[in-house]
Chain A
Amino acid sequence: MIITVATLAIPALILPVLSAFGVKHKRLPEALTVAALFLAAIQLPFVLLSTAYAEAAGGIWYYPQNLIRFDGISFIFSLTVILVAMMVAISSSTMLEGDSNKPVYYSLLLFTTIGMVLVSSTADLIFLLISWELMTVPSFMLVALKKRDSKANEAAIKFFLAAALSSALILFGISLAYGIAGSTNLYALRDALANLPPGGTPLVLLTAALLLSGFGVKMAIAPFHFWLPDTLSGAYPPVSALLAAGSKKAGFAAALRVTVLLVLAGKFVAVAPTWQLALGIVAAITMTWGNLAALTQKSLPRLLAYSSIAQAGYIMIGLAVQGTAGFFFGLLGLLLHVLFHAVMKGAAFISLRNIGSNVDDAIGLYKKAPLTALGFALALFSLAGLPPLNGFWSKLFLFMGAVQGDMAWLAAVGLINSAISLGYYSYIAKKMFFDDPVTEGPGVQHPDVLAVLVFASLFIIVTGLYPEPLIRLISLVAG
């Protein structure tokens, strides 16, 4: 794990220094970044295996000391965020042509990726908070990169305020958790919860609610979603992709790590139905709010932002069914949707570089830039959950989890929401494919964006037609 972090950290530290010393190679920053991310990605299975090997003898294996436990769930989340970071790194290549901030941009991207990987593999609450900040602080700067643009500044300020609220809530939650357990270690917390007298439950619930609200700001679940549309519409499209597809997922990773503990601790059973119901209601409100708001948007990044709020609602189903009979399908669906949604939403945001920021910019896009239009449409239809695209499978498992966990109403809400969401996705598809372009000539076609879109389209179709290997992998590592 330390090696993985170093693989990412060394280029991140070197890049700004190189530029300070005047090393100017046009493609060096992105090449170095992509290489580092790739190297980190191929280490992940070995890190996971080493954990499994060490834990085969029994006990919990931390490495380094008491801070990190890299388990199957960490593996899926780390893989997802590294994948997103790679998509972002490749697609930003032509965006910062000639910009002196380019090495810094890539350095920040690597730092925030380290933060996301650490958030998803932490075993200690204080370490979680530090990783959380490592993830968040570089992304403020990424959002504010267009520093002369007032919208970008507004986006960054809003993001900063929301993140400050998030950190405060998490810190408050951590202090309560320390009060309960006398330790900030997650597994010590679990043991303490199991030994708790029955009267301690309200405090536990308050702790969980505070932590979850803190993570919820990043996950953009209602009512903590307000910052997301403003922030994502102000930033560069690849940065928005990073936030919507990457750091949102890290929020879910953190939430999953904490709530799993609560479920595992036996004391929780008494209030479990209420807790599950509460999370289910939050999920239902989040997806409905997101979808209804997305229907009225005229700006593409805002529309995609609301759509990603709605998707957060679907993923929440996986958290809500924890501790019920639907746990297996719920967790499988959650992890699968995290991975699939990251690719779909990442591709959708990144393709905005070739499209523009207004819904009307999509008019006649197929005639002007066919590859972009196809890639964007595939991502959108997959977000709606249409087979034969991969979004269908992850949603299917989430809804199966809901029905099995005695929350058929939640599955019904989710399915109705899928139908609503197709309303705005098909509206954009209509504009792209059926309307005639208003401007003459070919559209913008950045080759780096197209490369990412081709990868994402293939991923969406192939895992849509044959999701079995991924499902097996997830059942194996998360089992």
Chain B
Amino acid sequence: MAVPVISLMIFLPAAGGLAVYLSGRLGEKAPKYLALAISLVEAALAFLAYAIVFAAEGPFGVSSFLLQEEYRWVGNLVTYHVGMDGLSGPLVLMAVLLTALATGGSFFEIKDKQPSYYALMMFFLSAAVGVFTSLNLILFYFFWEATLLPMFFFIGVWGGPNKRYAAVKFLLFTYAGSVAMLLGFLLVYFLTPGATFDLVTLLNLPMPAWIQAAASALTFLGFGVKLPVFPIHTWLPDAHVEAPSPISVLLAGLLLKMGGYGFLRFNLELFNGAAVQYAWVYILIGVVTMFYGAVVALMQKDFKRMVALTSINHMGFVLLGAFAGLAAGSAAYGISGAIFQMFNHAFAIGAMFMLAGFVKHGAGTRDLTVIKGLRAATPKMGLMLILASLAGMGAPIYSSFLSEFMVLLSGIVYSGWLWVAVLVPGITAAYMLWMLWRAVLSPPSPGAKYIDIGRNETIYLALYLVPLFILLIAPGLLLAPAANFARVVVGG
């Protein structure tokens, strides 16, 4: 491949971030338009990369790392080695599209310190693409950690009233998880015969069972904090509630997916033996997380906190689908369903988080017991709330229905007892519908002054839902590469 597409995708926003910061001198509006332009170019690159992956991986292709680039970076120890396969392809596309959406969404909400904000957004994008494409463990760790500082400042500077606490808690939780992950990587380096950090080499090396078990337990801490799984999830509701809406979109859409990607890439693919052996542990944690997220969301009064807990609930599906798929040999719908679920969740929950911001702005509060009659008082916002909630609960008019169905099916194939997991979408639908009934469809309270969203906001929100429609009609666009990845994992 002559054009280094992945490197362009990593370095364009990194260099662009500096330009965005400096463009603040040109005028107040320059940074945001420049950032949007960069993220749209990035989106075009991501489509190109995805097309290449899709063409090669297609329905009958064999999953391998495409678009590979490898350069010496820190000796032979840490090489700059990037590539894409059926797992990273969809996730990179998701990351880039969502960042473009979040950049656009920031136009509505972010009013101060714009040059720094949009510059940090670009640095974050660069690191996120790096995480999904790294094929060297230390390079992966490097990008993984490089996402922390931008997010720390996003929450701490542009966040809500309790932002300081939330930012510090976020940083400490995720860093504590990361150092455990790093120790796992070091064990892999020293205890496998290859003495290498290179993922492609490691995937082809036999790895003793106890190292797999030890390393996957350690990396589990790193990915589990990000995903997040019960009981190391407590940073998430605080961080989401305090962050501005576009940053919540990035948190839920990208940062959580890094955890999911880490599970699939390392705990599932690299430590395959341990994954088969201990699949029941991951499945148990996944199911507990699903129930926890759903039941706690049921009790929330704050709309945004409810959405945040829905994220926890949905990410439990990813864990369940991936490991049940592996253990039961139902990879075609378990593992690819997990990847599909990550993609769908990103867009569905993104729309919900943006709406949380609009509701706060339009109604002055996010308290679901106070807000009444949004459908009547603010028709556009009410309509979008209904449409987005349907995506959030997995109604069969969006692809999120498909992915949840695939995951639940693979769970039942693994063990008949897992039919209980079917209750989770039920609870999710219940609290979403209850929210609609309480706040949207109820008669408006007299005297309350609500401001509706404009046409721009409505179109903007619809953009989140378009991919979910398309993928309902043509799920193969995403499932074909994902299924190839699943086949490789189960076969190898």
Q: Which residues of A contact B (CB under 8 A)?
A: 381, 384, 386-388, 392-393, 396, 399-400, 403-404, 408, 411-412, 415-416, 418-419, 422-423, 426-427, 429-430, 433-435, 466-468, 471-472
Contact = CB atoms under 8 A, between A and B. Distances in A.
A422 B171 contact: yes
Rank and list the top 6 A-B pairs by shortest CB-CB distance, nearest first. Answer: A415-B179, A419-B176, A434-B156, A387-B145, A387-B142, A403-B186
A426 B73 contact: no
A262 to B, nearest CB: 25
26 contacts: A381-B149, A384-B175, A386-B148, A386-B149, A387-B141, A403-B183, A403-B186, A403-B190, A411-B183, A411-B186, A412-B183, A419-B172, A419-B175, A422-B172, A422-B175, A426-B168, A426-B172, A430-B164, A430-B167, A430-B168, A433-B153, A434-B163, A435-B164, A466-B73, A468-B73, A468-B74
B152 interface: yes
Interface string B144-176: 011011001100110000011001100110011
Contacts of A429: 152
Contacts of A467: 74
B145 A386 contact: yes
Interface of B: 72-75, 138, 141-142, 145-146, 148-149, 152-153, 156-157, 163-164, 167-168, 171-172, 175-176, 179-180, 182-183, 186-187, 189-190
A400 B196 CA distance: 12
Nearest to B181: A415
Contacts of B179: 415-416, 418-419
Contact of A392 (B145, B153, B176, B186): B145
Most buried by B among A387, A393, A435: A387
Nearest to A412: B183
Contacts of A419: 172, 175-176, 179
Contacts of B153: 433
Most buried by A among B72, B153, B179: B179
A471 B74 contact: yes
Most buried by B among A386, A426, A467: A426
Contacts of B164: 430, 434-435
A468 B186 contact: no
A396 B183 CA distance: 10
Contacts of A466: 73
B194 to A, nearest CB: 14
A459 B145 CA distance: 19
Contact of B175 (A386, A400, A404): A386
A387 B146 contact: yes
Given A387-B142, A422-B175, 7 more contacts: A400-B186, A416-B179, A418-B179, A419-B176, A426-B168, A433-B157, A435-B164
A435 B168 CA distance: 13
Nearest to A421: B175
A418 B180 CA distance: 11
A434 B167 contact: yes
A408 B215 CA distance: 12
Contact of B182 (A415, A430, A468, A471): A415
Contacts of B187: 403, 408
Contacts of A392: 142, 145
A468 B72 contact: yes
Contact of B189 (A400, A412, A426, A430): A400
A388 B189 contact: no
Given A386-B149, A387-B146, A396 B138 contact: yes
Contacts of A384: 175
Contacts of A418: 175, 179
A386 B179 CA distance: 10
B121 to A, nearest CB: 17
B156 A433 contact: yes
B73 to A, nearest CB: 7
B76 to A, nearest CB: 11
A411 B145 CA distance: 18
A471 B152 contact: no
Nearest to B164: A434
B209 to A, nearest CB: 18
Given A387-B145, A415-B179, A434-B167, A399 B172 contact: no
Nearest to B156: A434
A423 B171 CA distance: 9
A466 B187 CA distance: 24
Most buried by B among A399, A408, A418, A434: A434
Contacts of A386: 145, 148-149, 175
Most buried by A among B138, B142, B186, B189: B186
B68 to A, nearest CB: 21
Contacts of A388: 142, 145-146
A427 B145 contact: no
A404 B190 contact: yes
Contacts of B142: 387-388, 392
Nearest to A422: B175
A225 B85 CA distance: 52
Nearest to B148: A386
Nearest to B177: A419
Contacts of B168: 426-427, 430
A384 B73 CA distance: 22
B244 to A, nearest CB: 14
A421 to B, nearest CB: 10
Contacts of A412: 183
B15 to A, nearest CB: 12
B156 A468 contact: no
Nearest to A404: B190
Nearest to A406: B190
A430 B156 CA distance: 7
A427 B169 CA distance: 10
B152 A426 contact: yes
Contacts of B167: 430, 434
Nearest to B170: A426
Contacts of A399: 182-183, 186
Nearest to A402: B186
B243 to A, nearest CB: 13
B58 to A, nearest CB: 36
A430 B167 CA distance: 8
Nearest to B127: A388
A477 to B, nearest CB: 15
Contacts of A430: 156, 164, 167-168
A403 B186 CA distance: 7
A399 B181 CA distance: 13
A418 B152 CA distance: 17
Contact of A415 (B171, B180, B190): B180
Contacts of B172: 419, 422-423, 426
Contacts of A426: 152, 168, 171-172
B378 to A, nearest CB: 33
A388 B17 CA distance: 15
A403 B215 CA distance: 13
Contacts of A433: 153, 156-157
B385 to A, nearest CB: 32
Contacts of A434: 156-157, 163-164, 167
Contacts of A387: 141-142, 145-146
B190 to A, nearest CB: 5
Contacts of B145: 386-388, 392
A185 B182 CA distance: 43
Contacts of B156: 430, 433-434
A357 B492 CA distance: 59
A393 B146 contact: no
A472 B75 contact: yes
Contacts of B163: 434
Contact of A393 (B74, B157, B182): B74
Contacts of B171: 422, 426
A262 B80 CA distance: 39
A419 B153 CA distance: 18
A418 B145 CA distance: 13
Contacts of B186: 399-400, 403, 408, 411
